[in-house]
Amino acid sequence: MATRTTSLKDMPRIDGDTRAKGALQALNFFMADMQAGIGPFLGVFLQQRGWTSGPIGTVMTAGGVAGMIMTAPAGAFIDHTRKKRLIVIVTGICTVMASFLILLSQSGIVVTVSQVATAIAGAAIGPAVTGMTLGVVRQRGFNAQNGRNQAWNHAGNMIGAGLSGWLG
């Protein structure tokens, strides 16, 4: 039985534009929870460790206020910089590290600092991904690509929430 080998010239080509769009979609899938960190699960996590609803609301509010305050400056910085990919990487790392802080210590100050750091990083991730999207597809293709980005983001959120529930 003879087998036919396929050469590189016979394989379909993926142009840079298609590859960049796929990378944006993958980024949105895997960075789905980066804007919120563990925020949606924080209340349950802290309640399991003896916190009451008042202090939980206080630290979550501190994060929310920090995120609101930093949204405009972060957006202006993202518009100014040409290093949007680096911003996404750094803010992603900051969010993961801030979330791990809560696992190490559940003291009020540590949890508050973690929530503020996560909110500040989250304020920069959205504009950075939007800027990257505009760089890839330009204004003409932005609406369609942004819709795909959001669909992949929501798929990542669903998978993350499902895995969180399943893994405990």
Residue-wise pLDDT for 79-136, tens only, equals 999 999 999 999 999 998 998 999 999 999 999 999 999 999 989 998 999 999 999 9
- Nearest Cα to Cα of residue 128 among 38, 15, 24: 24
CA distances from 23 to 19, 20, 30, 96, 136 (A): 6, 5, 10, 21, 10
Provide the token pair at 114.
């973690």
What pLDDT, in 10s, does the model give residues 39-60? 667 888 899 999 999 999 999 9
pLDDT of residue 161: 79
Which residues neighbour 159 within 8 Å (Cβ) at sequence distance 6 or greater?
Answer: 29, 32
- Nearest Cα to Cα of residue 71 among 132, 129, 142, 121: 121
SS3 (DSSP) at 2: coil
pLDDT of residue 8: 47
What pLDDT, in 10s, does the model give residues 143-156? 999 999 999 999 98
